[in-house]
Amino acid sequence: MSVKAGGLEFKNPVLTASGTFGYGLEFMPYGDLSRLGGIVVKGLSLEPRQGNPGPRIVETSCGLLNAIGLENIGVEAFIRDKLSLLPWDRTAVIVNLYARESEEFGELAAVLADQEKVAGLEVNVSCPNVRAGGVQFGQDPALVGEVTRKVKDRAGSKPVMVKLSPNVTDITVLARAAEENGADLLSLINTLSGMAVDIRTRRPCLANTTGGLSGPAIKPVALKMVHAVCRAVKIPVIGLGGITTAEDILEYLLVGARAVQVGSGNFQSPDKSFQLVRDLENLTGELGIASWEEYRGSLEEWGR
């Protein structure tokens, strides 16, 4: 079941997605964290953040809309209070980085570069750049390149994964910008921009008015983007978006992903990711999949 990708090693292809699995420790009552392929922790910034006022998460008919606003305890508190309690020697702990300027991304990488308990860094570029008037880093290839380079330069030997935003015209352009500037891996997708309104109160359902859509609704969109990006770059790709079954995981691997992350599925049931590891083992046995190398990207396209 193990997977090697961009300098990282996972005991199986099932990782948890940032922001949907806390700092990992919250899920200890529901399963053995060391059984997971990897844990991507909540996005961390240099300073603690309170995030947006509520309501900041709402369920739609086909997924979740959230505008949490990157609430987190700050990178120093994570290192001091949480990191050692995770089974970092038995599963890959990946820290998701959040910043409002590219310099800050570099500073975060420098703080984490010599933390032996951290396996790798994931750069969340789906956040506004205050220097560029609030434009998301992830929507501008030049900014994606700049942030990737800043993190890579200060990350020491830590593999750097850039997490792409789907809210763009052509995601392969952003994928190449990250690759050309030193990214070791890519992960995609982050949430899709969306909105929900309440016809009775006549208010947006989220205090922030708009938010990010996740869950089963976004899986076909994400799968298409993962398929396209796997063909556009040489570095490994981690796929995510709407995964709730082992079949979903195999779909991502079939189009070329090296591993996956489970996000909103963890809200359906807190033991979801643990269950998916077991289900994937059973399903690969049932389908006679002998190795990931043979299965990955083996999609047979229809002739044109």
Ligand X SMILES: Cc1cc2nc3c(=O)[nH]c(=O)nc-3n(C[C@H](O)[C@H](O)[C@H](O)COP(=O)(O)O)c2cc1C
Report, as residue numbers or ranges, the catalytic residues. Answer: 127
The pair of three-digit structure tokens given for residue 82, joined into one six-digit string? 């949480």
Task: Find the shortest distance in angstroms from Cβ 266 to ligand X.
Answer: 8
Ranked by CB distance to ligand X, the top (closest) residue is: 19
Task: Find the shortest distance in angstroms from Cβ 35 to ligand X.
Answer: 19
Nearer to ligand X, 56 or 149 (CB): 56
Q: What angle do CA 267, 268, 272 make, to 5 degrees?
A: 90
Nearer to ligand X, 30 or 285 (CB): 30
Per DSSP, the residues of 249-274 read HHHHHHTT-SEEEE-THHHH-TTHHH
Task: Residue 49: name the closest of 7, 117, 97 by CA.
Answer: 97
The pair of three-digit structure tokens given for residue 62, joined into one six-digit string? 């086909």
The pair of three-digit structure tokens given for residue 25, joined into one six-digit string? 């420790």
Nearer to ligand X, 264 or 291 (CB): 264
Task: Residue 42: name the closest of 13, 74, 64 by CA.
Answer: 74
Nearer to ligand X, 268 or 298 (CB): 268
Task: Find the shortest distance in angstroms from Cβ 222 to ligand X.
Answer: 7
Task: Find the shortest distance in angstroms from Cβ 265 to ligand X.
Answer: 6
CA distance 182 to 159: 10
Per DSSP, the residues of 61-79 read TTEEEE-----B--HHHHH
Q: 96: Cβ–Cβ under 8 A, 6 or more apart, which residues?
A: 18, 19, 40, 41, 42, 43, 44, 121, 122, 123, 124, 163
Nearer to ligand X, 144 or 303 (CB): 144
Task: Find the shortest distance in angstroms from Cβ 124 to ligand X.
Answer: 3
- The two beta strands, 210-214 and 192-195, are antiparallel
Task: Find the shortest distance in angstroms from Cβ 303 to ligand X.
Answer: 32
The pair of three-digit structure tokens given for residue 34, joined into one six-digit string? 């060391």
Nearer to ligand X, 124 or 284 (CB): 124
Token pair 């047979």 is found at 300
- Could you tell me how far CA 26 lies from the centroid of its own chain? 18
The pair of three-digit structure tokens given for residue 211, joined into one six-digit string? 């938010």
How far separated are the first and last CA of the chain, in Å rounded? 34
**3-class state of residue 140 by DSSP:** coil
Binding site for ligand X (CB under 6 A): 17-20, 42-43, 57, 64, 66, 68, 70, 96, 124, 163, 190-191, 214-215, 218, 240-243, 262-265
